[in-house]
Amino acid sequence: MFKPLSFALVAATVLVASINNPTATLARTCASKCGSQPIQFTPGQRIRVEVVNSTPNLIKIQKPSGTDAISLSPGQKLNLEQIEGTEPNTSLIFWSETGLSLQAIVSKPNFGTLRLELRPTWRSPGDRSLYIMDDGRINVF
């Protein structure tokens, strides 16, 4: 008598638990919860980097491998044509003259353009560099 009763009790508990928590019992594909695809370019491709200052302060941008810092006024847009995907791991560093933390939003508006929009953020320390790896992947640090 106890075996059928205990089996029925366990079966009922499992059934009620699965009905009350359907996400635990249903498998889903990646399409239901995946993030967006990471931005990537073809290795060796010439990349035009468009930098937009969406902050209220002056921002400095520099390519560490040989350029002086370039000032970007609030609302100003700068196009950097000299970035090539064949350079090993190209990077741009950026900072606010006032010490403001920055958030870098990257997008790919067309085939050969990488857009870097710099916005103010409360997150500390914020983003400080854009890294274009020689395999075409883009990272923000």
The yes-or-no verdict on residue 24 having pLDDT over 50 is no
For 90, which DSSP code? E
CA–chain centroid gap for 70, Å, is: 24
Instruction: Give the number of C-alpha atoms closer than 13 A to the C-alpha of residue 22, restricted to the C-beta side.
Output: 2
pLDDT at residue 79, as a whole number:
92
Residue 8: band (very low, low, confident or very high) from pLDDT cuts 50, 70, 90 = low
**CA–CA dist 107, 117 (Å, integer):** 8
The residue that leads in pLDDT, 18 or 94, is 94
**CA–CA dist 71, 74 (Å, integer):** 10
Is this structure's pTM higher than 0.75? no
Residue 18: band (very low, low, confident or very high) from pLDDT cuts 50, 70, 90 = low
For 55, which DSSP code? S
Note the pLDDT tens digit of each residue in 46-91.
Answer: 888 999 999 999 999 998 877 789 999 999 999 987 565 556 678 8
Note the pLDDT tens digit of each residue in 84-123.
Answer: 555 667 889 999 989 999 999 999 999 889 999 999 999 8
Residues 6+ apart with CB under 8 A from 78: 50, 51, 52, 61, 70, 72
- Region 33-52: mean pLDDT is 81
Torsion sign across C-alpha atoms 123, 125, 128, 133: negative
